[in-house]
Structure 1
Amino acid sequence: MNAHATDMETERAEAAAWFKALRGEIVAAFEALEARFGTGARFEVTPTARRSEDGSDAGGGIMSVLRGGAVFEKVGVNWSEVHGVLQPRAQAAMAARKGIPGMAEDPRFWASGISLVAHMANPRVPAVHMNTRMFWTPHAHWFGGGADLNPAIPFEEDTAHFHRTLEEALAPWAGEYGRMKDWADEYFFVPHRGRARGVGGVFYDDLSTGDLGEDFALTRAVGSAFLPAYLPLVEKRQPEPWTEGEREAQLVHRGLYAEYNLVYDRGTKFGLETGHDANAVLMSLPPVAKWT
Structure 2
Amino acid sequence: MEMTPERAEAAAWFRALRDRITAAFEALEDRASGAAPAGRFVVTPTTRANDGGGGIMSVMRGGRVFEKVGVNWSEVHGVLAPRAQAAMAARGVPGMADDPRFWASGISLVAHMQNPHAPAVHMNTRMFWTPGAWWFGGGADLNPCIEYPEDTAHFHDTLRSACAPHGVDYYDRFRAWADEYFFIPHRGRARGVGGIFYDDLNSGDWHADFAFTRAVGGAFLPAFLPLAERRMITPWSDADRDTQLVHRGLYAEYNLVYDRGTRFGLETGHDPDAVLMSLPPLAKWI
In which range does the TM-score fall when normalised by the shorter chain?
Answer: over 0.9
Partners of 1:142 and 1:100 lie apart in 2 by: 10
The answer to whether 1:113 aligns with 2:111 is no
Cα distance in 2 for residues equivalent to 1:101 and 1:235: 45
Residue 25 of structure 2: which of 26, 30, 33 is its match?
A: 30
Give, in angstroms, the shift of residue 102 of structure 1: 2.6
Mapping of residues 172-251 of structure 1, within 5 Å? 172=165, 173-251=167-245
Aligned partner of 1:140 in structure 2 is: 133
Q: CA offsets, 1:173-213, max 9 Å, x none?
A: 21100000000000000000000000000000000111000
TM-score, scaled to structure 1: 0.95
- Aligned-pair CA distance for 1:136: 0.2
Q: Deviations over 1:47-88 (max 9, x none)?
A: 001132xxxx51000000000011000000000000000121
State the shift of 1:28 in Å: 0.2
1:102 maps to which residue?
95
Residue 140 of structure 2: SS of its match in structure 1? strand
C-alpha separation between the residues in 2 aligned to 1:199 and 1:37?
A: 26
Deviation at 1:163, TM superposition (A): 0.1
Q: Which residues in structure 2 correspond to 1:1-292 (within 5 Å)?
A: 9-38=4-33, 39-52=37-50, 58-97=52-91, 99-172=92-165, 173-292=167-286
CA distance in 1, matches of 2:40, 2:163: 32
SS in 1 for 2:105: strand
Task: Give the root-mean-square deviation of aligned CA atoms.
Answer: 1.2
Gaps of at least 5 residues in structure 1 are none
Task: Give the 4+ runs in structure 1 shifted more than 3 A.
Answer: none
1:88–1:104 CA contact under 8 A, matched in 2: no
Identity, in percent, stands at: 75
Q: Take 2:245 and 2:136, find their aligned partners in 1: how far apart are those partners?
A: 33
Counterpart of 2:98, as a letter, is: E
What does the per-residue CA deviation read over 1:227-259, in whole Å, with 9 as the maximum and x for residues that have no partner? 000000011111111011110000000000000
Structure 1 SS opposite 2:48: strand
- Aligned AA for 2:41? F
